[in-house]
Structure 1
Amino acid sequence: MKKLFLASIIFTSALISGCTAPPPVNFSVPDVGVSTKKIDAEVKAITVTLARPDEKKGDLPAGIEGITTLWKEALQEALDRMAIFKDDSKNKVSIQVKILAFEVPAFGFEMTSKSIARYEVIDRATGSIIYTQDIAAEGVVPATHAYLGVTRVRESINRAAQNNIKTFLQAVESVDIEKPMFPAEKK
């Protein structure tokens, strides 16, 4: 009798956990602290787009268009929490992100998603590219993370985007607005 009761509890638990919804797609970067460095520029605009076919550096699966909004919101939130840019600066910049690849696993036990994005910080007054870099990041979720594969896939997608944004945040601390990587041509 006890074995039957125990088996029914295990079966019910597995059934309930199998019916739970997978986590939402959430690119919000955890543990972003306030930067000790300040960049003398105000961010006027952030844009996130998908690469054109001739720019891609990997897969961009169908239906991925919606991640641009999530990516932009997560980047804006992280920059706000980091407080690295000065809102009252006379210098104005735009941050442009182009997602070049976002590879999502179709199946497996350990799920690994890969993201590549090009980040550019552009001086709005001169058009100089202050900073540009293609950043690649992975989101790895072990088989022990969750029973359902769809849950592990979603979490790997979240981590790939979060790790990509986090790498940019670390890199942007080295930006010197006075020394653009690609100064605009003077006419």
Structure 2
Amino acid sequence: MTLFLLVVIRAGKRPNSQERAVDKGAAPEESIAQAQQTIVDSFQCLGNWMARYEYLIDLGRSLPDFPEKWRTEANRLHGCQAQVWMVSELRDYKLFFQARSDSAIVTGLLALLMQVYSGRLPQEILSHPPDFLRAIELEQHLSPNRANGLFHMMERIRLEAQGALDAEAAKAKP
């Protein structure tokens, strides 16, 4: 599916929601490094930043439904200008994330992070920083408030991964 995404972008079209792979709770088929490179390739094919922002918004629309019952204070990320909620679940030693924002662009940023980090082992998450953000020069094109929010989103993902590792270590102790 990712290869198809790149072919569609290179052909000059933005993919629609049926043409995109969306995390429906299944573990990803590509490595974190491959997922990051796919994002870099996609953004490079888009050219200007207006097209990239539109693509981010489309990515956000492709996220699975985020039930209203999850939009609680406990699931809210603080430090973001927009309202952002994130939940995680540990299944088969892998962390699965779902997230949403009241901002279309921020929801697109969340979609990028979910593409890279959802369905991964906690140790994988902790050992792979979001290098793709620098490679696509995203932080340079975000307002300071959005860049700060992106930092807090990534920090929450790392904290969830560390918490999962700590819980496993506690179980292993006699």
Structure in which a larger fraction of residues adopt strand: 1
Which TM bucket (shorter chain)? under 0.3
TM-score, normalised via structure 1 length: 0.25
TM-score, normalised via structure 2 length: 0.26
Structure in which a larger fraction of residues adopt helix: 2
| Greater gyration radius | 1
